[in-house]
Each structure stands twice: as C-alpha cells, then as structure tokens.
Structure 1
Amino acid sequence: MPLVTPPTLVDEDGALTQECENALVAIFKRYDVDKDGALSTSELDAFAKDTNGDVFDEDTRAEISEFLDLDERGQLTLKGFLQMYNLQTSSEPEETWKDLQKHGYDTKLKLVASRNEDSDDKSKPTPATETTTASDQKRK
C-alpha cells in the first residue's frame, strides 16, 4: 500500500489552510460549551486534558495570556485558538497532526471519530511527517 501523504496544514504564506482551520474551528466549538465565543478556564482545561492528558501548566497559561487573543474577561477567543495552532503548526506540524487525531480527524482532515472514542486506538492512521506543497494539493 502506498504511503498516504496528508495535506499541508499551512499554505505558502504560513497561514492555516482552510481545511485545517475548519477542523480547528469545529474542535473549538466542541469545548466552547456555553457558546460565548471564548474558552473559559474550565473549557480550556477540558480541551488541554483531552488533547495532552493534563491541563496547561502555569507557563503555558502565561504565554496564552501574553501572546494570544483574549476576550475582555481574559478568556481565549477563537482567533486566539487559531493563533495558538498557527504558531504550533509552523514549528511542529507533527504535534498539530497528533492533536487533530486525538480529536477524531484522519489524515485527510475528515472527522472519523468522536472525542469520546478511545483516542489511543492503534488502528487509526498515523500521518506521514512529509507533506505536499500547496501546488501539489491544487493538482489533485
């Protein structure tokens, strides 16, 4: 079976691709339980636990507060959430792939499992670390 190369998560300008952004928006909305457009401390903790197995440490919380978009109550907005993932994806795309898979996305950025299913299921595909270019994606 040929190696499946997953889509690129950022475009040639370094912005998240529309497909990646759509997946991240859907993930954000799952955790924005009160639907106020921002992640409260408890909502952010739930996201971090489901993604990383534990809440963010104080250093990470400080970085979020200092560098990402927050609402007037100091809560992470959708814009800030996307900023966080843009920063991560620019330097460590494999970490973003891991996060997307934890939240049920496959290597084609399609939702294939709910977050309530076993996220450690070894039968889920693992994305390749090499990526295609945006021009390769347009040719497909």
Structure 2
Amino acid sequence: MPLVVPLALTEEDGGLTPECEAALMAIFKRYDVDNDGALSNTELDAFARDTNGDVFDEDTLTEITEFLDLDSNGHLTLKGFLQMYNLQTSSEPEETWKDLQKHGYDTKLKLVASRNEDNDDRSGINNTAEKSSA
C-alpha cells in the first residue's frame, strides 16, 4: 500500500499555503452564521465544540482576545482565525491536520465530508441530480 503524504500546510516563509488557507476560510464561513465576518462567542463556541469536543477554556479565550485580530465587538475575525491557525500550524502541524480532518478534509485538503448538515443536504440533492442525469 503506498504511503499517503499529506500536503504541506505552510510555505517556506512560514505562512499558510493557499490550499490550507482556503480550507480554513471555508471552515470559518461555516461557523460565521450571521455572515458578519467575525465569530461571535456563540459561533466560536460551536466551532470549538465541533473541533475539540468542548468550548475553549478561559486561558485560550484570553490568548485569543490578547493576541489575535478581533472586530470592534471583540469577536474573532477571519484574519484572527487564520492567525490562530498559523500559530498552531507552525508549532503543531499534526493538530491542524486533526482539526482539518474533523471538518471533513482529506490529506490533499479536499472536502470529502462536511459537519454542516445544510451542506450535506445540498450535496445529497446534487448527487441525486447527477445520478438521474447520467
């Protein structure tokens, strides 16, 4: 059986690869349910619960508010979300892979399954339409 080597998550300069950034942006958009460009406390809790099984602890929330980009309401922006993952990926890329896999991404950073029921429903409709047109 051939060895599966996952794509790199970071560039040589330490920045996230375009593929990794695109996957993270899609995850962010899934949780930004009000489409205001930031994760409210409720949205961030939903993300953390789906990713880690529980909401972030107080220390993690303090780090987020002190070191990452927030909007005027103190909510985590997309820029802050990407900063959070850039920090994690530079020190623990395996943790980022675990998170990506929990959100349905394979080792090529392709979405193969979604935690979002709405996306699953649309996929089922599209798959049915594709099958009936074949």
Please name the residue that 2:120 is paired with: none
Q: How far apart, CA to CA, are the structure 1 residues paired with 2:59 and 2:111? A: 31
CA distance in 2, matches of 1:53, 1:2: 32
Partners of 1:103 and 1:114 in 2: CA distance: 6
How far apart are residue 2 of structure 1 and its match? 1.1
CA-CA distance at 1:37 after TM superposition: 0.1
Cα deviation, 1:86-132, whole Å, max 9, x if unaligned, reads 00000000000000000000000000001158xxxxxxxxxxxxxxx
Instruction: Report the secondary structure of 1:47's partner residue.
Output: helix
More helix by share: 2
- Equivalent in the alignment of 1:40: 40
TM-score by length of 2: 0.86
User: Contact (CA 8 Å) 2:30, 2:116: kept in 1 or not?
Assistant: no
1:4 lines up with 2:4 in the alignment: yes
Q: Name the amino acid aligned to 2:115.
A: R
1: CA distance between counterparts of 2:63 and 2:21? 21
Letter matched to residue 91 of structure 1: S
CA separation in 2, counterparts of 1:110 and 1:58?
A: 33
Alignment RMSD, CA only? 0.9
State, as a whole percentage, how many aligned pairs show the same letter.
84
User: How far apart, CA to CA, are the structure 1 residues paired with 2:49 and 2:116?
Assistant: 13
Q: CA deviation at 1:11?
A: 0.3
Q: Quick check: 2:69–2:76 contact (8 Å CA) kept in 1?
A: yes
Distance in 2, matches of 1:5 and 1:59, equals: 34
Alignment match, 2:14: 14
The CA distance in 2 between the partners of 1:7 and 1:23, in whole Å, is 12
State the Cα distance separating 1:70 from its structure 2 match. 0.1
Q: Could you say which residue in structure 2 is the equivalent of 1:68?
A: 68
Following TM superposition, the consecutive aligned residue runs of length 4 or more in structure 1 with deviations greater than 6 angstroms are: none
For structure 2, the residue ranges without an aligned partner over 5 or more in a row are 118-134
Q: Where in structure 1 are there 5+ consecutive unaligned residues?
A: 118-140
Q: TM-score, normalised by structure 1?
A: 0.82
Does structure 1 retain, via aligned residues, the 8 Å contact 2:51–2:103? yes
- Could you say what secondary structure the match of 1:10 adopts? coil
Does the 8 Å CA contact 2:33/2:43 hold for their aligned counterparts?
Answer: yes
Q: Deviations over 1:17-69 (max 9, x none)?
A: 00000000000000000000000000000000000000000000000000000
Query: Quick one: which amino acid aligns to residue 71 of structure 1?
Result: D
Residue of structure 2 equivalent to 1:26: 26
DSSP 3-state at the match of 1:83: helix
